[in-house]
Amino acid sequence: MRFAYAAAHCLTHVSVAVMLLLMLELGTEVCIRHEHIGQDGAHSLYNWYRKFEAEHFPDPHGMRPRLEAWTLGLYPGALKAGFALFDVPEAIAVARTAMCAASSSGVAKLDAISRPQAWAYYSGMLAYYWLLATPAVALVFGLYLYVSVCWLGCHFDEAFSSLRIPHFKALTRMHVTKAGDLEIYTLAMHKVPTAWREDPRWAGHNGGGGAPAKGVPAHAAKWPSRWLPESTNKLADDESLEMTLIDYVRVARR
């Protein structure tokens, strides 16, 4: 049963991954064919900007060529690289079109593009795939935890930790008796306080603040804790905020 359930979970992840990959491929091909992305070649956004700049911001004194010479080509080069980095769909479309054309003519796909173009293509596809896969994987894993908790009775820790519920906490304490027996206590708190106030008894004669003056460890005092939950108006802790013993195991010494 566990193997079948784990296999179904793994198969669901693989199926979703393949489906998302096919959707990404289909979407890319539709954008190239019907939206004509990448038809003008690489750096079309940068070329449009230079054309727009020349039409609306004329340079009668030739400052742009001088600036290009003074910066050793950094001025237009930085703009060109920035536009190329911003226009990821165009980089993907140009590289994909070149690879498809090369494949139809019998040339290896990666031989039709340069190494930077290949890096840009695969990096862009990975980025878009990541955007699609992140919510899909979260949904699949959330359904897996839901089925595990509600129907199969397992993965309680993983499911409730992902819900980030601040209450219903538990801890385990172990104690070795003088006889050598091991005592294991499991303590739980149904409601966790979020605001605190100082306990005036802590600084008193029987409190943890005054205990060291008497030569008594602070944890052995009657009131060892300095703080009390703010939600209660009485000095004694509210019952819903108290630790409850939910399990006890004693292992005898052998």
User: What are 178-220's pLDDT values in tens digits?
Assistant: 999 999 999 998 888 888 888 888 888 888 887 666 777 887 8
Token code pair at residue 130: 């990541």
Q: Give the pLDDT confidence score for residue 213 in this predicted structure.
A: 66
Instruction: Return the DSSP state at 153.
Output: -
User: Over 90: is that where the pLDDT of 87 sits?
Assistant: no
32 vs 15, 38, 108, 205, CA distance in Å? 26, 7, 21, 81
Q: Count CB neighbours of 137 within 10 A.
A: 14
Sign of the alpha-carbon torsion through 122, 127, 128, 131: positive
Q: Which residues of 162-179 are buried (b: 16+ CB within 10 A; e: fewer)?
A: eeeeeeeeeeeeeeeeee
Contact 39, 98 (CB under 8 A): no
Who's near 204: CB < 8 A, 6+ residues apart? 210, 223
CA 45/CA 1 separation, integer angstroms: 56
pLDDT tens digits for range 215-247: 778 878 888 888 888 765 444 445 566 788 999
Instruction: Return the DSSP state at 151.
Output: I
pLDDT tens digits for range 1-26: 788 988 999 999 999 999 999 999 89
pLDDT exceeding 90 applies to what percent of the chain? 26
Closest C-alpha among 216, 194, 193 to residue 205: 216
Closest C-alpha among 93, 140, 100 to residue 120: 93
Token code pair at residue 28: 């890319």
pLDDT tens digits for range 17-64: 999 999 998 998 888 888 778 777 778 888 888 888 888 888 888 888
Q: Where are the alpha helices (DSSP H) in the chain?
A: 2-34, 44-56, 63-70, 74-86, 88-104, 115-147, 156-163
User: Over 80: is that where the pLDDT of 79 sits?
Assistant: yes
Tokens 């397992």, residue located: 154
Say what the pTM is.
0.60
CA 254/CA 252 separation, integer angstroms: 6
Closest C-alpha among 20, 19, 35 to residue 97: 35
Highest mean pLDDT among 107-121, 155-169, 231-245: 155-169
Q: Give the pLDDT confidence score for residue 235 in this predicted structure.
A: 42
Q: Give the pLDDT confidence score for residue 236 in this predicted structure.
A: 46
CA 87/CA 204 separation, integer angstroms: 70
Q: Give the pLDDT confidence score for residue 17 in this predicted structure.
A: 93
How does DSSP assign 70-84, residue by residue? HTTTHHHHHHHHHHH
User: Over 90: is that where the pLDDT of 110 sits?
Assistant: no
Contact 206, 221 (CB under 8 A): yes
